[in-house]
Amino acid sequence: MKAFYGDLKLGILGGGQLGRMLIQQAINYNVTIKVLDPDPEAPCRKLCDEFTAGSLGDYETVYNFGKTVDLLTIEIEKVNVDALEQLEKEGVVVYPQPRIIRLIQDKGLQKQFFKENDIPTADFQIISSIEQLKQSHIPFPYIQKLRRDGYDGKGVYKVTDEAALDKAFTAPSLVEKLIDFEKEIAVIVARNDNGEVKCFPMVEMEFNPEANLVEFLIAPSMLPFEIHQEAENIAKRIAESLKIVGLLAVEMFLDKHGRILVNELAPRPHNSGHQTIEGNTVSQFEQHLRAIFNQPLGNTDCLNNAIMVNVLGEAGYEGPAVYQGIEKILNKPGVYIHLYGKALTKPFRKMGHVTIVDADREKAIEKARFVQATLKVIA
Amino acid sequence: MKAFYGDLKLGILGGGQLGRMLIQQAINYNVTIKVLDPDPEAPCRKLCDEFTAGSLGDYETVYNFGKTVDLLTIEIEKVNVDALEQLEKEGVVVYPQPRIIRLIQDKGLQKQFFKENDIPTADFQIISSIEQLKQSHIPFPYIQKLRRDGYDGKGVYKVTDEAALDKAFTAPSLVEKLIDFEKEIAVIVARNDNGEVKCFPMVEMEFNPEANLVEFLIAPSMLPFEIHQEAENIAKRIAESLKIVGLLAVEMFLDKHGRILVNELAPRPHNSGHQTIEGNTVSQFEQHLRAIFNQPLGNTDCLNNAIMVNVLGEAGYEGPAVYQGIEKILNKPGVYIHLYGKALTKPFRKMGHVTIVDADREKAIEKARFVQATLKVIA
């Protein structure tokens, strides 16, 4: 591979906010950046050397795009893997490796991988059709997940009783024991081609039981040291089994008995690592670049308590986005805004995020609640 | 002025590294960014919504560019101020204000401003011609500075004796007493239109007496508290006298008697503030945006010791840039590379900078020396 600075052409499949933040960091390395995304108005469109509007799922489009770069990476895993495998054969470096993207695209294969590699995960069964599901007599309640194309909570269905089966997914899926979990936690791990592996400190999601929603992310987690250690060991074991090059986000549950169960993987920068931009020695975006450029991985220490709040389109509004409350939140020290350059808002669309950094954890949480109550995206 | 996020069009005069780092930060605010620079290969060319190649000194070019934006700022002060004044009359918001750019473009006017406002500075005389200089009988040695267009040490001449007068500048200039200084120090101050004023902690330049060159910048300075306080007070007084909106970099000397003397001003992000990207709660670029958007200024505290090393083109090399030693320096924790996207190197051209952050000051200095010895830009 060419030296990563200077004349290296880096291609990114996907031009959303993850690509945007990756580019903000990649600017420091002088690489030529090309982006492919189906949306001609994608957040990255004006921030790269070359933007191509085209389907990420189409073989020809991905192949032709890939032929113009030296190194190809992704910011979304729903891409045409056949094209990536062909590009790899023809000498384009593709990180993460296509075989890993293929595995992670299919939640069934992912679960089998966990099982084969002794990675703790909730018990599951693979179901190929609705008939098979109806005949399986799994004790209610349980969770049904589509094997493919689930995203941001879509493709997940809670089967509470016999009647609920009528609305169950008909496509190939897996069913999973409902976990009575205490916390959602996540570890982002990076591996480079030299085999160096480094984790970011474990983070936890703060759950709002009233709204039944993840409210925000806290880094580092305040759970006991043993939990950190175990979660990071699991993440490292997965990265090493896969021999991934790049970032791997490992989402996990901590159940009421203190057991960690891996939920799912994302082989790319991830929502659970945005706070690393201000909160850690290197950010997840810098680390992904170092990993795919096969450079020494950066120190991942937390500089401070950091809380990440997603900025979502307000329910009931759709159209050109209007932001309310920015001045008020910038008035607080240690509050950082990241807007994603999306012209149109719709309910719950991810329009940006805010990171709050404070040496005093309680103050950080207080400010996070203020940000949530104050910053609104309407139309 | 329009709300600063969403549909505001921000114009930047100059598309070099300062503009590039300003854009990296401005991406977080969704503004539309347009850049004017004479070099079609300028570092910002691919990172903005619209890039125009054209002269910054030409009235029509600057005026026409300015008419397409809501808010205009600069990353270099050598721009056509007549055009800016006309744009201001016609309702374009120009920060820093054109009258301040006009003042700072002329080192003679700058010095008179210092004198009128009791800002401590080296004694000086304004000289309109070489004949006047020869007749003035100022005691040798002294410094002659061109009133206009000096840059990065150009336009400065040390007049050691009668014979040296033959090579003195013939254009309007000022002569200044040679200062036997102990340290070069700098404070970057920001002011917004609400009148809020905030300084970044004072930094100092580490001088290499052997090479007779500034070796690197250390933040924060380790000079006594009283010096910090005085330097920051001077910077605030200047910002308030000028009523500037935006950043103002104030370069100062500390003489052998412990007196501070202001050397010169730059009304924009500045080389002496690059380390704020990793070293401070907010960076100078974020602060400049907050100031010109009239948002609350950010907290400027240092997070850690930070050292900034300029990455200059190696003497003896000219042509397409090749970077040596990057992997070795990335191997050290707390080392951050910023390359400026310049295709061609030449001796002493600013090709990038490296920031080194470490809680242990001595270790930071050690790493900075390693970076200087290891990272080379050749052709």
What is the mean pLDDT of the segment spanning A119-130? 93
Q: Would you say A3 and A296 are in contact if contact means Cβ atoms under 8 Å apart?
A: no
Q: Decide: helix, strand or coil at residue A29.
A: helix
Q: Provide the 8-state DSSP code for B335.
A: E
Cβ–Cβ of B29/A333 closer than 8 Å?
Answer: no
pLDDT tier, A152 (very low <50, low <70, confident <90, very high otherwise): low
Token digits of residue B199 = 């300084």
| B320-324 contacts at long range (C-beta below 8 A, 24 or more positions apart) | B320/A6, B320/B344, B320/B345, B320/B379, B321/A6, B321/B345, B321/B351, B321/B377, B321/B378, B321/B379, B322/A6, B322/B377, B322/B378, B322/B379, B323/A3, B323/A5, B323/A6, B323/B375, B323/B376, B323/B377, B324/B375, B324/B376, B324/B377, B324/B378
Burial-class residue B131 by CB neighbours within 10 Å (0-12, 13-18, 19+).
exposed
The chain B residue lying nearest A287, using CA atoms, is B330
Tell me the C-alpha distance between A282 and B355, whole Å: 13
Place of tokens 């590009």: A87
pLDDT score of B326 more than 60: yes
Token digits of residue B19 = 């503009």
pLDDT score of B214 more than 90: no
* pLDDT tens, position by position, B250-275: 999 999 999 999 999 999 999 999 99
pLDDT score of A211 more than 70: no
Average pLDDT, chain A: 94
pLDDT score of A281 more than 90: yes
Q: What is the ipTM of this complex?
A: 0.94
- B324 to chain A, any CB pair closer than 8 A? The answer is no
Cβ–Cβ of B339/A47 closer than 8 Å?
Answer: no
Residues 6+ apart with CB under 8 A from B195: none
Tell me the C-alpha distance between B318 and A236, whole Å: 45
Contacting residues of B for A330, CB less than 8 Å apart: 290, 295-296, 298
pLDDT score of B1 more than 60: no
Q: Nearest-5° angle of CA B128, CA B131, CA B133?
A: 65
Contacting residues of A for B357, CB less than 8 Å apart: 281
pLDDT for the residue A139: 87
**CA distances for B180 relative to A325, B114, B258, B260, angstroms:** 51, 20, 11, 12
pLDDT score of B84 more than 90: yes
- Of all residues in chain A, the percent with pLDDT exceeding 90 is 83
What is the mean pLDDT of the segment spanning A278-301? 97
Q: Would you say B341 and A30 are in contact if contact means Cβ atoms under 8 Å apart?
A: yes
Cβ–Cβ of A295/B326 closer than 8 Å?
Answer: yes
Tell me the C-alpha distance between A67 and B100, whole Å: 51
pLDDT for the residue B166: 87
Domains detected in chain B: 9-94 (3.40.50.20), 123-177 (3.30.1490.20), 181-378 (3.30.470.20)
Cβ–Cβ of B6/A323 closer than 8 Å?
Answer: yes
Of residues A299, A334, A339, nearest to B30 (C-beta): A339
Q: Provide the 8-state DSSP code for A349.
A: -
pLDDT for the residue A133: 87
pLDDT score of B345 more than 90: yes
Residues annotated in a binding site of A for ATP: 107, 145, 176-179, 184, 263-264
Tell me the C-alpha distance between B108 and B90, whole Å: 29
* pLDDT tens, position by position, B4-47: 666 899 999 999 999 999 999 999 999 999 999 999 999 999 99
pLDDT for the residue A191: 98
What is the mean pLDDT of the segment spanning B186-199? 98
Tell me the C-alpha distance between A212 and B120, whole Å: 62
The chain A residue lying nearest B293, using CA atoms, is A327
Of residues B47, B321, B340, nearest to A47 (C-beta): B47
Place of tokens 């090749």: B322
Cβ–Cβ of B27/A341 closer than 8 Å?
Answer: yes
* pLDDT tens, position by position, B142-171: 999 999 987 666 788 999 988 888 899 988
Neighbour tally for A40: CB within 10 Å = 11
Token digits of residue A167 = 């609305």
pLDDT for the residue B4: 60
Residue-by-residue DSSP string for B16-62: SHHHHHHHHHHGGGT-EEEEEES-TT-TTTTSSSEEEE--SS-HHHH
What is the mean pLDDT of the segment spanning A2-11? 77
Of A49 and B206, the structure prediction assigns the larger pLDDT to A49
Residues annotated in a binding site of B for ATP: 107, 145, 176-179, 184, 263-264
Cβ under 8 Å to B: A residues 23-82:
24, 27-30, 33, 46-49
The chain A residue lying nearest B45, using CA atoms, is A49
pLDDT for the residue B258: 92
Q: Would you say B268 and B18 are in contact if contact means Cβ atoms under 8 Å apart?
A: yes
Contacting residues of A for B295, CB less than 8 Å apart: 326-327, 330
Cβ–Cβ of B339/A30 closer than 8 Å?
Answer: yes
The chain B residue lying nearest A334, using CA atoms, is B281
* pLDDT tens, position by position, A79-89: 999 999 999 99
pLDDT for the residue A2: 61
pLDDT tier, B137 (very low <50, low <70, confident <90, very high otherwise): confident
Q: Specify the amino acid at residue A6.
A: G
Cβ–Cβ of B321/A48 closer than 8 Å?
Answer: no
Interface test with B, best of A20, A290, A294, A330 (most B CBs within 10 A): A330
Q: Specify the amino acid at residue A167.
A: K
Cβ–Cβ of A323/B5 closer than 8 Å?
Answer: yes
* pLDDT tens, position by position, A66-102: 999 999 999 999 999 999 999 999 999 999 999 999 9
pLDDT for the residue B181: 84
Contacting residues of B for A333, CB less than 8 Å apart: 281, 298-299
Cβ under 8 Å to A: B residues 327-346:
327, 330-331, 333-334, 336-341
Q: Decide: helix, strand or coil at residue A229.
A: helix
pLDDT score of A197 more than 90: yes
Cβ–Cβ of A296/B330 closer than 8 Å?
Answer: yes
Q: Would you say A119 and A234 are in contact if contact means Cβ atoms under 8 Å apart?
A: yes
Q: Nearest-5° angle of CA A366, CA A371, CA A377?
A: 160
- Of all residues in chain A, the percent with pLDDT exceeding 70 is 96
* pLDDT tens, position by position, B103-135: 999 999 999 999 999 999 999 999 998 888 888
Q: Provide the 8-state DSSP code for B162.
A: G
Of residues B290, B330, B331, nearest to A330 (C-beta): B290
pLDDT score of A3 more than 70: no
Interface test with A, best of B1, B17, B30 (most A CBs within 10 A): B30
